[in-house]
Amino acid sequence: MEQPNLSYIHSMSGGDKAFEQKLIDIIKSEFPEEKATYYKNYKAGELKMTAENVHKLKHKISILGLEKSYDIAVAFEHNLLEGSTDLNENFESILNTITNYLTTL
């Protein structure tokens, strides 16, 4: 599985370390809340709300350089809107990978 990285953040920052840290701090504070909301809605069977949660989370997936995972998130969001939970396990694996990565920053 691909691993998160800060390449995109570095390319956006132009070497501004304070900007990079601010963006990392935002991701570290928002991601756990968005992930918890995703799980709450998924467990409640609220597929439309879950799709909205995936939509928000996929931007963080992209910022963390996870291109293949982003494609999975896009497909999973579409599946949810169609009433299917296919790709849930893949998506949750991505969330776990990001969670683990963020603890190292």
Q: Say yes or no to pLDDT of 1 above 90.
A: no
Kindly report, residue by residue over 20-33, the tens digit of the pLDDT.
999 999 999 999 99
67 has pLDDT over 80: yes
Q: Which residues contact 53 (CB under 8 A, 6 or more apart)?
A: 34, 37, 38, 41, 42
The pTM for the full model equals 0.94
What is the average per-residue pLDDT within 40-44?
Answer: 98
